[in-house]
Structures are given as structure tokens and as C-alpha cells.
Amino acid sequence: MNWLIKGAHVVSPADDLNRKLDLLVINGRIAEIGTEIDHPDARLVEAGGLLLLPGLIDLHTHLCEPGAEERENIESGSLAAARGGYTTILMMPDTDPPLDTAPAVAQALNYGAKKGHVRILVSGALSIGLRGEAMPEFAALAEAGAQAFVQPDGSIGDAALFRRMLQYVKGMVPLIGVQPHDASLVVDGLMHEGVASTLYGLRGIPTVAEETALVRDLLLAADTNCPVHFYRISTADSVRFVARAKAAGIPVSCDVSPYHLVLTDEALANFDTTCKLQPPLRSADHVDVLVSGLAEGIIDCVSTDHTPWTDEEKDVEFAQAPWGATALETTLPLLYTKLVSVGRLSLTRLVEALSTRPAELLGLRDGAGTLRLGSPADFTLVDPETERVVSASDLISKSKNTPLLGQRLHGWPVATFVGGRLVWEDVR
């Protein structure tokens, strides 16, 4: 179907667009952007008062298929992504079995193509079984279609092994991703080590558990000249270390989760297990530096780390609960409400962090993260004014483990298009 979107406020940093425009879609591609466009064979969408953004792209989505479809599957997770304005997501390799072989990667891509409502890219495991002990057959994973090699929930503990990995995979795929995390410094930690952990009587996780791993891997990236992407940095010093590394020309990038930009460790006062995240929510001084780092471009992008769990898995004592929360449906309205609307982050920078920069890091071609003429029509329409309360019954994801239940947010996507197909529409 052809589409004519009339009168939306178009925001696309890559195209230097930030004004009211029309957009014409012909045969699934962007045919024209301008004013007073008309086309007799296009379905008209009056979009006055709405924002039109290039489709959002997530670097860190857990889809749980195969192995834990009761939490999430490709169909439900990708529909949740569409509802959140995402048109492309990178599937993490921590399925059961993990995506550490060529057949597993090929099968995930096949499932994604058949069942996905959005574009699903697949990451291969950076280590066999994600145990951090041995290298998989990287060339075979890349040939099967892996877009990245990822250790999503921790570092490779053996520095010599990680150095060999970087030497071997350099140039093989666009993204090599790790979460900086020294397990030996975590022990039985449950939350950020600080005043709040003392008050709540929970064992703390020190910031150096992240920072020592980060600095080691920054040095290895410099030594091998292999680009490394750091998932979910969460401390003020991590931001400073990345800034210095970039200034020195070390090929590194990083992201932050939406929750670490708006919540602090005080959110755990009631021992809410939906706030049990890895890395842990930090104190307000760290959050302020993370927001500044994102605004300044030191932090490249925001990744959801969408981590579904069933109610039964999360509704346990805090110490026994698993780490993680869902985020695909709420990241855009959360950050629009808490950062953009109050002037802490520009809308242009938010779009860069949610779309333009992730597309660059994934090495995507054909106009991904842009509204370039001739590129696939991947975009989302957003209502910046209408407020909605986050409720479990309203969420599409199979899992409802979000710390945002009951919060009133605005800036919700109302329609998402992938290759010119309407894959999500808010009909309320």
C-alpha cells in the first residue's frame, strides 16, 4: 500500500530535518518529503500534531525463543517492539540453546523472518555456551548471518582469550558487544553499593565491578584496534573513561539502558523486584553524569535490554529474583517524558540515540536510521501530548516485569511502519 503522511513534525537528524512536512511512501520506500505533496493512489494519514521519526533500532533485545517462550517469543516480542516505535531489533544470543553455532543463527533468522513484525537481526554468541571459556566458529556464525558477536551479560573473564577473540573477529561483523562486569567483585551483591544499600540492608555491588572490566577492555580494544561496544554502562567514571578513550582514538562505543537514565537506587526502597537490574540502578550523582554523557554524545545510544520474566519468576524474595525488566514498549515515552519534556535532552539527540547511531553501529545500509529518499519506509508516528498510565493489561509483551507500572507517560507511538507496512496502530 502507498501512504501519504500529511503535516507531521518530522525529526530526522541524519537528514537535517526538524520541521512540519509531508512524507510519501510508494511501494514500500520513501518517495518524497516536502510540503503540499499530493498523490491520488496513496492512503492519506492526517498527522497534524504528531511527530514522525525514523524507525527506532535496538541493540539489545532478549526474545527467549527458543527455550523460554513462556516469557517471550519472536512474535510477541517483535510486536511489543513495533508498539514501542522500533522497526529493527538485534536479538541476543542467550536462547536455549545459545546462538553459538551456524545452524542456530540460521534458524533464528528464519524464525525472525517468518514470525517477526519488525526487522529482526541476530547476534552470535561471543563464546561457546556464553560461558566465556572458548571461541565458537566465528566465520561460520558470520556466514550464517550473524550481525554481531555478543557476550550480553558480562565480560570475558580471561583477558588473553578476549584479546585473541578481538584479533580474530576484527572486521568480521560490525558489532562486538560486551557488558563490562567483573564477577569476582560482585559476589552476592544485590544493588548499588552506597547509602541506600546500607539503609535497606542489601549487599552492595561496587562501581569498580563495572569500571575495572571496562578499563581492561578499553586497553584491549586499543591494543588490537578492534572496535568494542560496551552495553549498559552505569557509572560516572565509566562515562569519563569512555570519553578519554574516544579522545585518544580508541575504537569504542557504548550505550545505557533507559532505566539507568531516570531511576536511582532509591527505587529499591520497597524491594520491588522489577527494579532489580544488572548493572544495578545507581545513585543520583551517577544518573546525572549518564544523562549528561548521553546529551554530549559520549554515550552513543540507548538500548532497551528488554529482559522478560514471568510473574512467577519475579514474584519472589528480592534476593532470589532474576535480574532484568522489559522495556521495548516504554523506552520512547519514558525518555520523552522524563528527559525531553523537561529540557534535559533534546528530541534530536534522543532520535540519534534511538535510531541513527544504532544503525551506524550495526553497519546497516539502505538508509536505516534515516528518512532518506529511496530507502525503506521504516518510521514511527508519535503523539507527544496524550498521556497514558503504564498498566500490565495494556502491555503487549508476554511479560509485565517493568518498574513503570502506574506511571503516567506521554510521547507514545501511535503507528509504526516497516518497509511501508503498517505493523502497529493504536486504535484507541
Q: pLDDT (tens digit, 0 to 9) for every residue of the chain, 428 residues total?
A: 899 999 999 999 999 999 999 999 999 999 999 999 999 999 999 999 999 999 999 999 999 999 999 999 999 999 999 999 999 999 999 999 999 999 999 999 999 999 999 999 999 999 999 999 999 999 999 999 999 999 998 899 999 999 999 999 999 999 999 999 999 998 899 999 999 999 999 999 999 999 999 999 999 999 999 999 999 999 999 999 999 999 999 999 999 999 999 999 999 999 999 999 999 999 999 999 999 999 999 999 999 999 999 999 999 999 999 999 999 999 999 999 999 999 999 999 999 999 999 999 999 999 999 999 999 999 999 999 989 999 999 999 999 999 999 999 999 999 999 999 999 999 76
What are the Cα distances from residue 354, in Å, to 255, 257, 303, 358, 425?
10, 11, 8, 7, 20
pLDDT of residue 428: 64
In the chain the domains, ranked by start, together with CATH numbers, are 3-51+378-425 (2.30.40.10), 54-361 (3.20.20.140)
pTM of the predicted model over 0.75: yes
Among 22, 182, 217, 305, the active-site one is 305
The CA distance from 394 to 112, in Å, is: 24
pLDDT of residue 187: 85
pLDDT of residue 364: 97
pLDDT of residue 153: 87
346-352 long-range CB contacts below 8 Å, 24 or more apart? Answer: 346/295, 347/11, 347/51, 348/11, 348/13, 348/18, 349/13, 349/294, 349/295, 349/297, 350/302, 351/11, 351/12, 351/13, 351/53, 351/54, 352/13, 352/297, 352/301
For 228-239, the pLDDT digits (tens) are: 999 999 999 999
The CA distance from 84 to 326, in Å, is: 11
What angle, rounded to 10 degrees, do the helices at 208-224 and 236-247 form? Answer: 10
The CA distance from 303 to 306, in Å, is: 8
- For the beta carbon of residue 395, count every other beta carbon within 10 angstroms: 20
Note whether 252 and 228 are within 8 A (CB): yes
pLDDT of residue 48: 96
What are the Cα distances from residue 235, in Å, to 115, 193, 241, 258, 314?
37, 12, 10, 14, 26
Which residue(s) pair with 18 in the sheet? 11
pLDDT of residue 5: 98
Amino acid present at 368: A
305 is annotated as an active-site residue: yes
